[in-house]
A = this chain, B = another copy of it.
Amino acid sequence: MNPMTEMERETREAPQAVARLLDASLDDLAALGRRLSGMAPPVVATCARGTSDHAAGYLKYLLEIATGTPVASLGPSLASVYDAPLRLRGAVLFTISQSGQSPDIVALQAAARAAGALTVALVNVDDSPVAQAADVAIPLQAGVERSVAATKSFIAAAAAAATIVAAWAGDERLLAAIRGLPQSLAEALAADWSALEEPLSTASSCYMVGRGPALAIAQEAALKSKETAAIHAEAFSTAEIMHGPLRLVRADFPILAFLPEDRAAAAGRAALQRLQAAGGHVFPAATADAPGKRLPVAATGHAHLDPLSMAVSFYGLMEKVSRLRGFDPDRPPHLLKVTETV
């Protein structure tokens, strides 16, 4: 029998990582959310790369939907390459990073702080440069992460983001569901997504779709598919996919849809029907009926958290698919754990 890969071990630690985060920092995260609500910033900016940028995207959709505050994703190169004269007085900058040490992220946070933004860092390495230089730093408590493919640190960052937004918007129902997240994520580890193993094991190309908060999880899934299994997966919203990307869909083209039961669910189902009619092989991760071959989802009690449950089930699937394709998910060729971009 094979020893467990780091990716599998760390995916299985996601529920405990979130439990540690909530034990240690739920009060801090909620207090931060209430403080930001009182500030009522005209804009929130985010700065992150790779997987952490998908957690930033999840924060963006949750915050825009709940509070209407526009969220701008800032390329770290604005500071590190373009030396832009940032105008961020009264704004809030969220920096999200596993390692907290990429030089371009450090540079943008410093420039934003100098420009008058309140800087908030969500990082997994407490004594990292990003954490040390932020106005408010909240440790993600995910524990050491060894696999190049980040998993538990992404789930912890997204859970932290959801907690801040819940407190900001005063959404007690979301806060209650967040308290139950460790249990829901443990159930997500057991969800049977084997129906996708064979289609992904033989695919060279596929789409991951979602809308709103679920789109951020589709983007994370697409990156993991490339990174761990050399599948050219790309993410689209179920709206954008009709503007050209639909052209690629053909018989047996796998499409994984992240479909929580939020306000976008009806439009999402209609899009999946159209993708099926074009020949696509549709797999909706959903808690209710949907077109295609449904993948079971461990419900979290809130449509905005269900994408995190789906992400955990997806990581478990992808670790298997990577090995089925003959790869080691922990050691993708060419890639390093910390990408020190300038």
Contact = CB atoms under 8 A, between A and B. Distances in A.
Interface in A133-170: 149
B87 A40 contact: yes
A263 B70 contact: no
Contacts of A224: 244
A194 interface: no
Contact of A74 (B45, B64, B211): B64
Interface in A67-95: 67-78, 81-91
Given A50-B240, A248-B226, A43 B72 contact: yes
Question: Interface residues of A: mostly helix, strand, loop or mixed?
Answer: loop
How many protomers of this protein does the assembly include? 2
A39 interface: no
A239 B45 CA distance: 19
Interface string A265-278: 00100000000001
A65 B49 CA distance: 19
A228 B91 CA distance: 41
A67 B68 CA distance: 24
Interface stretch (A25-33, A292-300, A333-341): A333-341
B70 A212 contact: no
Interface string A225-268: 01110101010010110111111110000000000001110010
Contacts of A67: 84-85, 87
Interface in A46-78: 49-51, 53, 61, 64-78
Contacts of A81: 211-212, 263-264, 267
A228 B341 CA distance: 34
A246 B76 CA distance: 19
B75 A72 contact: no
A176 interface: no
A264 B77 contact: yes
A216 to B, nearest CB: 11
Given A246-B334, A335-B246, A65 B43 contact: no
Contacts of A68: 78, 84-88, 115
Interface in A196-233: 204-205, 211-212, 223-224, 226-228, 230, 232
29 contacts: A42-B42, A42-B87, A42-B89, A42-B91, A43-B70, A50-B240, A50-B243, A51-B244, A53-B240, A64-B75, A64-B78, A65-B78, A66-B84, A67-B84, A68-B78, A68-B84, A68-B87, A69-B87, A70-B72, A70-B91, A71-B72, A75-B211, A77-B267, A149-B244, A224-B244, A226-B248, A227-B244, A227-B245, A232-B234
The 9 closest A-B pairs by CB, nearest first: A50-B243, A227-B244, A43-B43, A70-B72, A42-B42, A72-B72, A68-B85, A68-B86, A68-B87
Given A68-B88, A226-B245, 6 more contacts: A64-B84, A68-B115, A70-B74, A73-B73, A226-B244, A247-B332
Interface of A: 40, 42-43, 45, 49-51, 53, 61, 64-78, 81-91, 104, 115, 149, 204-205, 211-212, 223-224, 226-228, 230, 232, 234, 237, 239-240, 242-249, 262-264, 267, 278, 332-335, 339, 341-342
